[in-house]
């Protein structure tokens, strides 16, 4: 399970996160919602080792998350799909996928994982030898999630997978995320602007406001909370 206690993160003089505490059980899908600048991305970047924490602690099982580099956290099952369709456009679809499994140094297992990803996203399978910049937005997001799956993650950190995608595609991506969580027993933190969509598939919800937690609870309860609805869901 993931335990975050009193996490504080500064960007220079700006305090991005202020004493954030979160608890997510194994197998749960947690949606983190909130306005722009609420600290959602900072939270993910700190949990994946890209940003340094000023104070507080974060543990994943026995692992101390805050003092590790991203490349070692991947080896402990924490995988972060960063904002904006995190694929490398100059590489082919196949190479993008391979990249996620290089550290495992096991060709056989990597090939097996690749088959699983292609099964999950058949459209990637049809485009393996194309450069990633020839893909549509939705396909790129599939590729980014696929690359992450190549690392055999247990904790998946997803930053705005719906960004810039058509509503129908968003629905598909969200459904895949929910399916993955169930079938592989993943723990997922889903950061989203699309609060309604995210709370629909999530088990629990966390509302961030100006770097602090404004509300937290089961996703269903948050969806029905009048204050949350007014401030973040817009209806």
Partner 1 sequence: MFEFVNTLLIGITAGSIYSLMAIAIVLVWRSTRVVNFAAGGIALASTFVGSTILEITGSFWIALPVAMLAGAALSAFIEYFFLRPLLKRSGDKNQEIFLPIIATLGILGIMKAVLHFIYGEKIGVLSPPLSDKGFIVSGESIALSPLRLLILGIVLLLMIALTLIFQRTNIGLSLRAASFAPEISRLSGIRVDLVRTVGWAISGAAGATAGILQTVNGSGAVTPEAFEFSLLLVFGFVAAVIGGIESLVGAVVGGLTLGIILAIILMYLGSSLVFFAAFLILILVLLLRPNGIIGVKGGRRA
Please report, as ranges, the residues that interact with partner 1 according to CB under 8 A: 48, 50, 69-71, 74-75, 79-82, 86-91, 95, 98-100, 102-103, 147, 151
Q: CA 118, CA 125: separation in Å to the nearest integer?
A: 5
Q: Minimum distance from CB of 145 to partner 1 (Å)?
A: 13
Q: Minimum distance from CB of 60 to partner 1 (Å)?
A: 16
Closer CB to partner 1, residue 62 or residue 71?
71
Residues sharing a CB contact under 8 Å with residue 155, sequence separation 6 or more, in sequence order: 2, 60, 77, 78, 79, 186, 187, 188, 189
Q: Which residue has the tokens 């399916």?
A: 179
Q: Minimum distance from CB of 233 to partner 1 (Å)?
A: 30
Closer CB to partner 1, residue 80 or residue 127?
80
Q: Minimum distance from CB of 130 to partner 1 (Å)?
A: 14
Q: Minimum distance from CB of 142 to partner 1 (Å)?
A: 15
Closer CB to partner 1, residue 106 or residue 175?
106
Q: Minimum distance from CB of 55 to partner 1 (Å)?
A: 23
What is the 3-state secondary structure of 127-141? CCCCEHHHCCHHHHH
Distances (CA, A) of 118 to 58, 78, 93, 111, 235: 33, 21, 11, 11, 38
Closer CB to partner 1, residue 44 or residue 198?
44
Q: CA 205, CA 218: separation in Å to the nearest integer?
A: 6
The 8-class DSSP code of residue 37 comes to T
Closer CB to partner 1, residue 158 or residue 201?
158
What six digits make up the tokens of 74?
Answer: 């991947």
Closer CB to partner 1, residue 91 or residue 210?
91
Instruction: Write the DSSP assignment of 90-114 as a string of letters.
Output: TSBHHHHHHHHHGGG--HHHHHHHH
């Amino acid at each position: 399970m993931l335990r975050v206690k009193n996490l504080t993160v500064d960007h220079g003089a700006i305090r991005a996160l202020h004493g954030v505490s979160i608890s997510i059980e194994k197998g749960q899908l947690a949606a983190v919602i909130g306005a722009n600048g609420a600290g959602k991305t900072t939270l993910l970047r700190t949990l994946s080792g890209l940003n340094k924490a000023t104070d507080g602690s974060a543990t994943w099982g026995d692992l101390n998350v805050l003092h590790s580099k991203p490349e070692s956290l991947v080896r402990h099952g924490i995988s972060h799909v960063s904002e904006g369709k995190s694929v490398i456009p100059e590489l082919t679809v196949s190479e993008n996928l391979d990249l996620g499994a290089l550290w495992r140094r096991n060709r056989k297992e990597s090939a097996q994982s690749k088959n699983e990803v292609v099964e999950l996203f058949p459209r990637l399978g049809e485009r393996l030898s194309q450069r990633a910049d020839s893909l549509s937005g939705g396909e790129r997001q599939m590729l980014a999630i696929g690359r992450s799956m190549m690392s055999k993650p247990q904790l998946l950190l997803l930053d705005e997978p719906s960004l810039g995608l058509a509503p129908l595609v968003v629905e598909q991506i969200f459904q895949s995320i929910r399916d993955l969580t169930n079938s592989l027993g993943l723990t997922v933190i889903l950061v989203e602007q699309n609060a309604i969509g995210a709370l629909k598939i999530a088990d629990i919800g966390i509302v961030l406001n100006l770097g602090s937690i404004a509300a937290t609870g089961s996703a269903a309860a948050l969806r029905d909370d009048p204050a949350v609805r007014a401030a973040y869901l817009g209806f």
